[in-house]
Amino acid sequence: MLATGALALAGAAAQSVPAHAEVAPKAMFPVAAVTIPIVGATEVFQVRRIYCIGRNYAAHAIERGSDPTREPPFFFQKPTDAIQNVAIGTVADHPYPSLTKNYHHEVELVAALKSGGTNIPADKALEH
């Protein structure tokens, strides 16, 4: 329905706007940037994507009923609003569905290189 409506609107817009004019698309609703603090800095780091790997720890895979020798790790993404930043020295409430019987949580580390780079040798890593 949205695609059809968008096509209809696009057609109407194309007819009412001169061919040489460019109209910037307008978002249906605002999406706030998700940021996390940078240790030792006043700046924050904007998170745009969260890439995840599942079944990459053999002990946890076995605990969850998988056979890591037969089932390879898998890749997936999470939305940036899945981040729950907890300030150092505080405890956060982390609600989860009340019918959950076996809840597993994970903690992730985000590392951003101040100078970027690829294929950086281990002995040069701290320079980046």
Is 30 inside any structural domain?
A: no
Overall residue count recorded for the chain in this entry: 128
Q: Which amino acid is at 43?
A: E
Is 90 inside any structural domain?
A: yes
How many beta carbons lie within 10 A of that of residue 57, not counting itself? 13
The mean pLDDT of the chain is 80
Is 19 inside any structural domain?
A: no
Confidence of residue 10 (pLDDT cuts 50, 70, 90): low
Is 13 inside any structural domain?
A: no
Residue 54 domain boundaries: 50-122
Confidence of residue 18 (pLDDT cuts 50, 70, 90): low
Of residues 5 and 19, more confidently modeled? 19
What's the whole-model pTM score? 0.55
Angle (CA) 66 70 73, round 5°: 70
Number of domains in the chain: 1
Pairing of strands 44-47, 74-78: unpaired
* C-beta separation of 23 from 17 below 8 A: yes
Q: What are phi and psi of 51, to 5 degrees?
A: -95, 140
Is 102 inside any structural domain?
A: yes
